Amino acid sequence: MNFLKINGAHGEGGGQIVRSAITLSCITNQPIHLENIRKNRKNEGLKPQHLAAIKILKKISNAKVIGDTLGSTELKFIPGEIKNLELNEDVKTAGSISLILQVLIPAVSISQKKLSLIIKGGTDVMWSPTMNYTKYVLKEAYSRMGIRFEVQITKRGYYPKGEGEVIVEVFPSEIKSIKLSKRKKQKLQLKCSFSKIPIQIIEKKIDAIKEEVQKHNFEIEIEMKEDEASDSGSSVLIYSVDENSIIGIDGLFNKKTQNFDLDVKEIFDNSFGMDKNMADMLVVPASLGSDITKFEVHEITKHLETNLFVTSKITGCKYGIGKIPDGYEVIIEGISNTSIK
């Protein structure tokens, strides 16, 4: 069998390589052989959330998989035919549902299939986008690229128990190339979810954020919601959307400092087309578009560099990064993959 070998230690060497590689393996029907998975990390190899994504994608694509065990630094993924499915899955940890959906949504949608999924796990956990980011920011960006999905958060899942629940519907797509340049509007949306924390504490922190936002001449619309969860926790999302830009920042409530781990300046200082985290999430669909996707960002992260490298290796797409005043322009030339029908 003709495997495409990928070095999992390349660049930032994290789980993003695994997620992008198995997603594109399914879409392009290319068997892959991942080596040195998370080799430079403190706890190397596959983690529960990676295994959950692999396990679900294996079901969806009728794949054969070798090496899908906890801590494995090597994985062979041989995709089969993706089918329409209804699934009920449990990560059984506080592993990030958002990161798992970054695998499943493009793999199913770009392959012109449907997925109905109920999934349990972590909705708002460290080192991962919050579910509100997925629901309001990623969804907006994906929809502009032709990828349609719906998300309903029925229960929040915080560390350490997780036990959150999300219902997801994914629909067939026709990929579009997009261009995002400069933010036009000075209007922000804030979504805050909290559980088992006194509302007075959360209100005080949100009021402080509101005051800071208004000092910088931004309008802000605030929505706070107390949600059910097994553990106490809270998350906040601040985002801005207009025809030229999709920008979001999010953070979790730190119980030690009694504050949100959030640098509000990141949204003030960014006048470009998207936030630094969104940039790497769009590389996979952009690589498969029929035209050129172009966007401007404040900075180039290791995640973005790594994802561009891995995606170009699997799809053969071309990309370039150019310096512009105070930021960078990223150009991705899609391959309009004819195997995706």
- Ordered strands of the 4-7 beta sheet: 4-7, 32-35, 75-78, 64-66
Q: What is the pLDDT of residue 338?
A: 41
pLDDT of 337 strictly over 60:
no
CB 84 within 8 A of CB 314: no
The model carries a pTM of: 0.94
Quick: pLDDT tens for 239-277.
999 999 999 999 999 999 999 999 999 998 889 999 999
Angle at 132 between CA 130 and CA 136, to 5 degrees: 130
Average pLDDT score, the chain = 93
Q: Which of 33, 216, 298, 303 is catalytic?
A: 303
Phi, psi (5° rounding) for residue 137? Answer: -105, -55
Element (H, E) at 317: none
DSSP helix/strand/coil, 141: helix
Please choose, from the candidates 312, 207, 317, the residue with its C-alpha nearest in 3D space to the C-alpha of residue 264.
Answer: 207
pLDDT bucket at 201, cuts 50 / 70 / 90: very high
Q: How do residues 132-178 score in pLDDT, each as one tens digit?
A: 999 999 999 999 999 999 999 999 999 999 999 999 999 999 999 99
Over range 31-56, report the average pLDDT: 90
Distance, in Å, from the CA atom of 116 to the CA atom of 173, rounded to the nearest integer, reads 15
Distance between CA atoms of residues 200 and 32, nearest Å: 51
In the annotation, is 298 catalytic?
A: no
Evaluate the CA torsion angle 98, 14, 231, 191 in order and state its sign: negative
Sequence-separated (6 or more) residues with CB below 8 Å from residue 54: 18, 22, 46, 65, 68, 75, 77
Give the model's pLDDT for residue 18: 93
Delineate the domains of the chain, giving CATH numbers in brackets: 1-79 (3.30.110), 187-268 (3.30.360.20), 274-341 (no CATH)
- Split at pLDDT 50, 70, 90, the class of 316 is very high
Residue type, 108: V
Distance CA 262, CA 150 (A): 26
Q: Is the pLDDT of residue 341 over 50?
A: no
Q: Is the confidence at residue 217, as pLDDT, over 50?
A: yes
Residue 63 CA to its chain's centroid (Å): 23
